[in-house]
Amino acid sequence: MADLSRRKLIAVGGGTSMAALLAACGGGGSSTTMVTQKTTEEAMGEGKGGSETEQFGKGDIGILNYALTLEYLETVFYEEVVKSGLFKGKELAVLKVFGAEEAQHVEALAGTVKKLGGKPAAKPMTEFPLENAKSVAELAGTVENLGAAAYLGQAGNIESPEVLAAALSIHTVEARHAATLNTLLGLSITPDGAFGKPADVATVLKSVEPFIVG
Q: How far apart are CA 25 and CA 134, in angstroms?
A: 8
Beta bridge partners of 86: none
Q: How far apart are CA 87 and CA 181, in angstroms?
A: 14
Where on the phi/psi map is residue 50: left (φ > 0), alpha (ψ -120 to 50), or beta?
left
> What is the Cβ-side half-sphere exposure of residue 133, based on CA atoms within 13 angstroms?
9
Q: Give the CATH architecture of domain 6-211.
A: Up-down Bundle (1.20)
Q: How far apart are CA 129 and CA 27, in angstroms?
A: 15
For residue 126, the SS3 value is strand
- The whole-number average pLDDT for the span 79-91 is 96
- Domain definitions of the chain by residue range: 6-211
Provide the percentage of residues in the chain whose pLDDT is more than 90.
Answer: 74
Q: How far apart are CA 51 and CA 147, in angstroms?
A: 19
Q: Is the model's pLDDT at 17 over the cut of 70? A: no
Contact criterion met (CB below 8 Å) for 38 and 32: no
What would the pLDDT profile of 27-82 be if each residue is shown by its tens digit?
Answer: 333 333 323 333 333 333 444 444 699 999 999 999 999 999 999 999 999 999 99
pLDDT at 120: 98
Q: 163: Cβ–Cβ under 8 A, 6 or more apart, which residues?
A: 60, 63, 64, 112
pTM: 0.77
113 — pLDDT class (breaks 50, 70, 90): very high
